[in-house]
A and B are shown apart, each in its own frame.
Chain A
Amino acid sequence: MRTFAFSRADSVERAATSADATAFVAGGTTLLDLIKLDVLKPANVVDINALPLKRVERLDDGRLKIGALVTNTDLAHHPEVKAHYPVLSEALLAGASTQLRNMATTAGNVMQRTRCPYYRDPAAKCNRREPGTGCDAMNGINRMNAVLGGSDACIAVHPSDMCVGIAAIGATLTLQGPGGEREVDFADFHRLPGDTPHIEHDLQEGELITAITLDAPLKGAGSHYLKLRDRASYEFALASCAAEITLDGETIREARLALGGVATKPWRCTEAEAALVGQPAEKASFERAAEIALKDAVPREHNAYKIPLARQAIVRALRNAAQDKTSQSETQESQA
């Protein structure tokens, strides 16, 4: 592994004034992997594990504030998350392995890089890794690449499961920078590649994510996270779907839908959500939403299969979420 200067941050404010070419390390599962591959080349690595960012707290307005350093394991098993955001717990536990979840943190997961093999190989052309060099995925083995949100410059998939759950729930990021604190809507944090795929997110030089605050839970919602992949465990998604749904009787009152494994960022499907409202909670409605969600999909040579796969993921996730809702109201009624 290449060399770097190592130091430990003792306060959020001081961490946010770190020198240029600094990488913050928390779990290290992405950073050290990519330094070893010579994809990331920070001159300075600052360990932020001593910072007081490990709390999960319910706010007065019903939102849930998650410290940047809460591990994926701890978040997945946190009583507040299990009770009020089961779709996030399921998404977290569908990601990576036990060991990696024990190391990886909430903010680190948001910051994880694509698994596109051309990005990970310094010998390949990659506009994301080295702007202006081209994209070997475009006409290469692009079976795992994106069908949504891509550009002529980049079709790399955002690999996170956690972020798909968060995209469906809705959230706000708190960032600490040299100039103070600011907040960013989670939906705006990750950038579409466009002509500048190397600009992956809204984090500026020196800024540090300190918290992620989930929107208040959707009351009475049923939910499901469905992940489809090449093997049953410890594999990235070919397509995944986080769905939340609330019903008035058999009619859909509200729906939240996000996709993973098929898009260049955690992919909220707002148009498909709107089309579900007021519709009967049945297969035909789910299929129509799935059509809408994938209508702008652009397939490449090896990844056209992702379009029907993502549609099926949506239909199944919605069906399971609706059934989850039914079982919840039955439970509530029987308890009443």
Chain B
Amino acid sequence: MDDSVHSRTRAQAAPGTQTLNFTLNGEPRTLEVAPNAVLLDVLREQIGLGGTKKGCDHGQCGACTVHVDGQSMNSCLRLAVMCEGQHVTTVEGLARDGELHPIQQNFLECDAYQCGYCTPGQMMSATALLNDERVGTDDASVKEAMSGNICRCGAYKNIVEAIQKSRQQLSYDATQKEGTA
């Protein structure tokens, strides 16, 4: 089989791994990763955190959204080795001491999902925008800031509602900022 075809159909083992030191959901981590492994695959397959979803794998759907140093990013388009020294937060890092993050509670209460596949990515973008004072607080600004997260079930209306409800409930003091960053 032609090499180029082969590489498109099956992940190859990379020649040699590199050591990655980063903080994942508040815990320091050290692991060996292949240089061509994206953060999404390392999270799901190497570390075993399956909350972050693989949708398009090309930065178009937002299902893989995580926070890197507090900013929302597509983990499918970021090499894991590029996260050296950084703080990564996944959906598994939202709840604290067994208590759901307000955005999680409000997604439940507002019925802001149907199949649930895009939900982790939606919640990661939602928590990032609630912490970003550069984003407007009206519904139109929220929709624009959330447009990188596709929901094929079409739960958008309830997602916006869950975000706005969370905004009302949360007073973003410094402690909470630390908690979700």
Q: Could you tell me if B73 and A6 are in contact, using CB atoms closer than 8 angstroms? A: no
B1-31, CB under 8 A of A: which get 1 and which 0? 0001001100110110010000000000000
Q: A28 with B78: in contact, given A6-B18, A99-B72 (CB under 8 Å)?
A: yes
Collect the chain A residues with CB atoms within 8 Å of residue B81's CB: 6, 47
A47 to B81 alpha-carbon distance, docked (Å): 9
Residue of A nearest to B129 (CB): A98
- Size bracket, chain B contacts: 35 or more
* Docked-complex contact B15 and A32, CB < 8 angstroms: no
Among residues 40 to 69 in chain A, which have CB atoms less than 8 Å away from a CB atom of chain B? 41, 45, 47, 49
Residue of B with least CB distance to A4: B36
Known interface pairs A1-B7, A97-B62; A32-B77 also in contact (CB < 8 Å): yes
Residues of A within 8 A of B74 (CB): 29, 99-100, 103
Contacts of B62 in A (CB 8 A): 97, 99
Quick check: is A111 within 8 A (CB to CB) of the other chain? no
Complex CA gap A35/B4 in Å reads: 11
Cα separation A3 to B34 with both chains bound (whole Å): 9
Interface string of A236-269 (1 = CB under 8 A from B): 0000000000000000000000000000000000
Contact with A along B99-118 (1 / 0, CB 8 A): 00000000000000000000
Indicate if B162 sits at the interface (CB-CB under 8 A): no
- Contact: B143 with A4, CB < 8 Å? no
Contact partners of A288 in chain B: CB under 8 A: none
Among A3, A73, A233, max chain B CB count under 10 A is at: A3
Q: Does B125 contact A (CB under 8 A)?
A: yes
Instruction: Using A2-B7, A3-B14, A4-B35 as known contacts, say yes or no to A102 and B79 having CB atoms under 8 A apart.
Output: no
With an 8 A cutoff between CB atoms, is A113 at the interface? Answer: no
Specify the chain B residue showing the minimal Cβ separation from A77: B134
A38 at interface by CB-CB < 8 Å: yes
Give the residues in chain A near B125, CB-CB below 8 Å: 98-99
Interface positions of B from 126 to 171, Cβ below 8 Å from A: 128-129, 134, 143-149
Option from A3, A8, A122, A234 in Cβ contact (under 8 Å) with B36? A3
Q: Are B38 and A32 in contact (CB under 8 A)?
A: yes
Instruction: Kindly provide the distance from the CB of B73 to the nearest chain A CB, expressed in whole angstroms.
Output: 5
CB distance from B130 to the nearest CB of A (A): 12
B72 touches A102 (CB 8 A): yes
Q: What is the CA–CA distance of A29 and B114 in the complex, to the nearest angstrom?
A: 29
Task: Find out whether the CB atom of B78 lies under 8 angstroms from the CB atom of A234.
Answer: no
Cα A33 to Cα B38 with chains together (Å) = 11
Name the residue of chain A whose CB is nearest to the CB of B78. A28
Answer whether residue B58 sits at the interface, using C-beta atoms and an 8 A cutoff. Answer: yes
| Nearest CB of chain A from residue B19's CB, rounded to whole Å | 12
Name the one of A4, A25, A96, A97 contacting B82, with C-beta atoms under 8 angstroms.
A25
B 30-45 binary contact with A (CB < 8 Å = 1; else 0):
0000111010000000
Given known A-B contacts A102-B72, A103-B73, A234 and B59 have beta carbons under 8 A apart: no
Asked if A36 is at the interface (CB within 8 A of a chain B CB), the reply is: yes
Collect the chain B residues with CB atoms within 8 Å of residue A41's CB. Answer: 4
Chain A residues within an 8 Å CB radius of B73: 99, 102-103
**Interface of A with B (CB < 8 Å)?**
1-6, 8, 25, 27-29, 32-33, 35-38, 41, 45, 47, 49, 73, 77, 96-100, 102-103, 122, 232-234
- Can you offer 8 A-B residue contacts whose CB atoms are under 8 A? A6-B18, A32-B77, A33-B59, A47-B82, A96-B148, A99-B74, A102-B71, A102-B73
